[in-house]
Amino acid sequence: MATRELATALRRWRDQVSPEAAGLPASGHRRAAGLRREELAQLAGISVDYVTRLEQGRATNPSTQVVESLARALRLTGDERAHLFRLAGLVLPGPDTISAHITPGIQRMMDRLTGTPVAIFDAAWTQLLANPLYTALMGEWQGSDLNAVWRNFLGAGSRVRHTPASLGALRAAQAADLRRTASRYPSDRRLRRLVSALRLKSAEFDELWESGSVGQHDSARKTIDHPQVGALTLDCDVLGVAGSDLHIMVYTAEPDSQDAERLALLAVIGTQELAR
C-alpha cells in the first residue's frame, strides 16, 4: 500500500511542476504541462529507470538521499517533503541532523539569477544545487568532491588560483568552519564519517582539527583560471538563509570590467558546452 501511495504521489507532483517552474527551458509540444520523467531524473540526479520504477511501484526503500533529491527537484514545501519521507518509510531528518532541504523560494531565486554563478551548500559544505553558470565556471563535481572541504584537502581541488599561503589559509578556515558545524550537529552520522575520513587521510586536516579552532568560512575575492575564457577575478560572497544553515555562494564581477565581459562570454559558451 505504501509503495502504491508513493508512486501515486510522485506522479501527481511531477504533473504539477512545469519545466519553467523547475528552471528548465520549455521545449516544443508537450502532451502534459508537467515534467517528463527524464527531466525529473535530470533534476534529481538519479536514473530515468529508477524514477520509472518508483512511479510504477516497483522500487521499494529509496534512500534518504534519493528522497531528498526528489523533494528538491519537485519543489516540495516543508509539509510536502515530510509527507514524501513518510510515504517512503523514512524518518524525516530531525534538528540534530544537517538539513539538505532547499525551499521552493530559494530555488526560484536561483532560477532568476541566470547571469550569476550561484551554488547552495549544506552546513558541512556539501554542494546541494548549482545553477548552470556556476557549473560552467567551476566545473562539475561528483562523489566525495561535492564536499568543498574534502575537495580542497584530498580531492581534485578547484579552478581557484592559490599560493601555498592562500591555500593554507583556506584549509584552516574550512577546518574551523567544519568544527563549528560539528559542535552544532554532534549526532549527525554523515558529518562524523566525513570528519573521521579527513582526519585519517589528511595529516594537515588532523592537525588543524586538533588545534580546536572554531570559525566561519567567509567571503573573499578569488581568481578563477578557466580553461576557455581565461582568468576571472570575482567577488565570492557567502550568504546565509534565515532559519537554516544553508550557504549560498554567489560570484559577481565588477561592472564594465574585463572580468564581467569574460563572465558574460562564459554564460554563452559554458552553458552551451553543458547542454551538449
Q: Which of 56, 87, 118 is the last residue of a domain?
A: 87
Tell me the sheet residues that pair with 220.
236
In the chain, the number of structural domains is: 2
Tell me, yes or no, whether 128 and 254 share the same domain: yes
Tell me, yes or no, whether 261 and 129 share the same domain: yes
Tell me, yes or no, whether 119 and 255 share the same domain: yes
147: confidence class by pLDDT, cuts 50, 70, 90: very high
Residue 2 has a CB neighbour count (10 Å cut-off) of 12
**pLDDT confidence of residue 34:** 86
Residue 9 has pLDDT above 70, yes or no: yes
Tell me, yes or no, whether 56 and 175 share the same domain: no
**pLDDT confidence of residue 190:** 92
Tell me, yes or no, whether 125 and 218 share the same domain: yes
Structural domain boundaries, residue 126: 104-275
Question: Contact 262/223 with Cβ under 8 angstroms?
Answer: no
Q: Which of 59, 87, 115 is the last residue of a domain?
A: 87
The more confident residue out of 204 and 216 is 204
Tell me, yes or no, whether 67 and 120 share the same domain: no
28: confidence class by pLDDT, cuts 50, 70, 90: low
What share of the chain has pLDDT > 70, as a percent? 94
**pLDDT confidence of residue 273:** 59
Q: What is the CATH number of the domain that holds 164?
A: 3.30.450.180
pTM confidence score: 0.85
Residue 170 has pLDDT above 60, yes or no: yes
- Express each pLDDT in 247-276 by its tens digit: 999 999 999 999 999 999 999 886 565 555
| The CA-based dihedral angle spanning residues 121, 205, 144, 65, taken in that order and rounded to the nearest 10 degrees | -50
- Express each pLDDT in 67-80 by its tens digit: 999 999 999 998 99
- Express each pLDDT in 37-54 by its tens digit: 998 998 888 999 999 999
Helix ranges restricted to H, 126-257: 132-138, 148-153, 164-184, 189-201, 203-211
Question: Is residue 36 a part of any domain in this protein?
Answer: yes
For range 187-216, the mean pLDDT:
93
Average of per-residue pLDDT values in the chain: 89
